[in-house]
Amino acid sequence: MRHFKWLIGFLVLGVMLQACPQRPPAGAQPQRRVTLTRVVRIPVRVLTADTSRAALRENPGVLTLTAGAADELPQGPTGFEVLAGGGLVITDPLERRLVFYDSLGNFLRELRTGFAAATLARLPNDELEVSEATSGNYYALDQNGQSRLVTDSLRSLSAQAQAQARLLNSQRGLIVRAAALGGGADTLVIAFDGAGGAQMVSLQSLEQEARGDTYVALEITSGASEAVAVQKRIRRYAADGTWLVEITDLPLDYYVTPEEEFRVRNGVVYQLLPRQNEVLINIWDTN
């Protein structure tokens, strides 16, 4: 059933590409480049066979990781969300809980889920949508931790209605954007110059704000040497297609790879970066 829905969505995307007006690339350079604004640091503990459960209970603000092995990847936090006021909530799947922090990273509380959560998203009614790592089921959790099973990801369905990305080739892609502020849907052309043999290999729509500003993530590889380097960049476009901002200093040295690494809230970009000795929330203010 879900595959059928994705097929329908793909067909709808094709129709939209034909019907929507296209906004050409707005200049070869952004109006400005934004560097890292600040970093929130969350402590972690690497679990071993000797880890004391009492020690974990005494330090509820500490997230947990496993070291991994030759045939096993490290495990740890893979999802996060930004709450109203800039607070943070991060999954701690090894402890089957969600952990809440203020905007500076100070521990507030924990919420036991009873299952390992992979992704996390805030719904319009302030519930949290959580996906279970093993089954892939989605649950909506209220502020008291009461959960209900949902048949499909409500956030994903909402995101599909906002904007969809399509990579055409290594230097060009399209973002089909939903109507904003009473305007009609349109297609935003994403151009990449490919200097030095670099290629755009993926394109992702991160967020479309109510006023029409769109945030896009580009994954770029360079084939200039035997070692292929991978980079990510985030761009912000205005409703009229003007390229406003680009972020290029995105670290990718993940110890645990997030399921969803970025969030955009009110012009601020957040990145979840789990490392072996701490979990970072990197923040760029594009306003």
pTM of the model: 0.86
β-strands 107-112, 163-169 pairing: unpaired
Domain interval for residue 171 = 18-285
Q: ∠76-82-85 over CA atoms, to 5°? A: 140
Count up the domains in the chain and report the number.
1
Query: Which segment, 41-55, 195-209, 271-285, is predicted with the most confidence on average?
Result: 271-285
pLDDT at res. 118:
93
**Mean per-residue pLDDT for 58-85?**
92
Q: Does residue 3 lie within any of the structural domains?
A: no
**Mean per-residue pLDDT for 8-22?**
48
Q: CA 192: distance to chain centroid?
A: 21
Q: Does residue 11 lie within any of the structural domains?
A: no
Q: ∠36-172-205 over CA atoms, to 5°? A: 50
pLDDT at res. 125:
80
**Mean per-residue pLDDT for 228-236?**
91
pLDDT at res. 34:
97
Query: Which segment, 67-76, 191-200, 236-245, is predicted with the most confidence on average?
Result: 236-245
Q: Does residue 5 lie within any of the structural domains?
A: no
Q: What's the CATH number where 169 sits? A: 2.120.10
Collapsing DSSP states into helix, strand and coil, what is residue 2? helix
Answer yes or no: are the C-beta atoms of 198 and 227 closer than 8 Å.
no
Q: Does residue 34 lie within any of the structural domains?
A: yes
**Mean per-residue pLDDT for 180-188?**
70
Query: Which segment, 154-163, 174-183, 185-194, 252-261, is predicted with the most confidence on average?
Result: 252-261
Q: Is residue 73 left, alpha or beta, with left meaning phi > 0 and alpha meaning psi from -120 to 50?
A: beta
Q: What is the mean pLDDT of the chain?
A: 85
65 vs 181, more confident: 65
Q: What is the DSSP letter of 163?
A: E
Q: Does residue 8 lie within any of the structural domains?
A: no
Q: Does residue 226 lie within any of the structural domains?
A: yes
